[in-house]
Homo-oligomer: A and B are copies of this chain.
Amino acid sequence: MTYFRPVALEHASRLLNHGPTVLITSRSRDGARRNLMAAAWSMPVEFSPPRIAIVVDKGAHSRLMIEESGAFGICVPAAMFIDTTYAVGSVSGAEEDKFSRFSITAVPSATLNVPLIEQGCVAWLECRLLPESGAQEKYDTCFGEVLSAAADERVFQNGRWNFADANASLHTIHHLGAGNFIRSGDTLRAKAP
C-alpha cells in the first residue's frame, strides 16, 4: 500500500521550496548499477517547466552516473528516515550497492528508469539532466527538468505541504551539519502585504 499520489508538474517546485535535505538517486547508463547520496544543496530554479538545480561533487560516484545516464531522481526523506539519510551520505557507492547495504526499497521511475524511494520518503521527483558544462565544471551544479513527481498524501495535499503535530514522523528534515537536522516546524502565515 502506498500513500504516494502524483503531484501536478506546476506544483513540483513546492516539494523543494522550503529547502529540505534530499536523497539523489542515479543509475548507470545500462541500468545495471544504481546509487544514492544525501544532498543538502538543491533548489528549484523555474516553476514551469519545473526545473531544479542540485550540487553533486565531480568526485562523487553519483556524478558519473548522472552524466552518463542523463537522469537522476530526487527523493525527500522524512524524519523517520534520518539515520539512513545520514548513513548514505557518509559512504561511497563506488564499491557496493547502498540500497542493498541499507535495505532501501526502490522502484524504477516511469520514464527514465531511475530508482525512486517511497518507504521512508514523502516525495520524489524524476529528472532529466539539462547539461550545462560551465556550471557543472566550475560549481558542481547540475540542472534538471522534472518529468514527474509524487508525494505522500498524508503530508502533501492539493499542491501544499501540510505539516502538523500528528504527522511529525513524516516531516521533512533539513541538515545543519554533522548529523544534526532540524525538522520542519510549525506553519506560520504571513500577513497579506
Q: How far is the CB of A7 from chain B (nearest CB, A)?
A: 13
List A residues 69-111 near B (Cβ within 8 Å): 79, 82-83, 85-87, 90-91
Shortest 3 CB-CB contacts between residues of A and residues of B = A19-B19, A185-B185, A86-B190
A42 in contact with B45 (CB, 8 Å): no
Which of chain B's residues have a CB closer than 8 A to the CB of A193? Answer: 83, 86-87, 90-91
Q: How far is the CB of A97 from chain B (nearest CB, A)?
A: 16
B182 in contact with A160 (CB, 8 Å): no
List A residues 143-193 near B (Cβ within 8 Å): 143, 159-161, 163, 171, 173-177, 179-193
List A residues 40-72 near B (Cβ within 8 Å): 40-46, 51, 53, 55
Which of chain B's residues have a CB closer than 8 A to the CB of A192? Answer: 179
Give the contacting residue for A53; candidates B53, B91, B187; CB below 8 A. B53
> At the interface, yes or no: A29 with Cβ under 8 Å from chain B?
no
Question: With A19-B174, A180-B160 known to touch, is A191 a contact of B83 (CB < 8 Å)?
Answer: yes
B188 in contact with A79 (CB, 8 Å): yes
Question: With A132-B135, A141-B53, A171-B185 known to touch, is A82 a contact of B179 (CB < 8 Å)?
Answer: no
B181 in contact with A17 (CB, 8 Å): no
A45 in contact with B182 (CB, 8 Å): no
With the chains together, A157 CA to B52 CA distance in Å?
A: 32
Give the contacting residue for A83; candidates B139, B140, B186, B190; CB below 8 A. B190
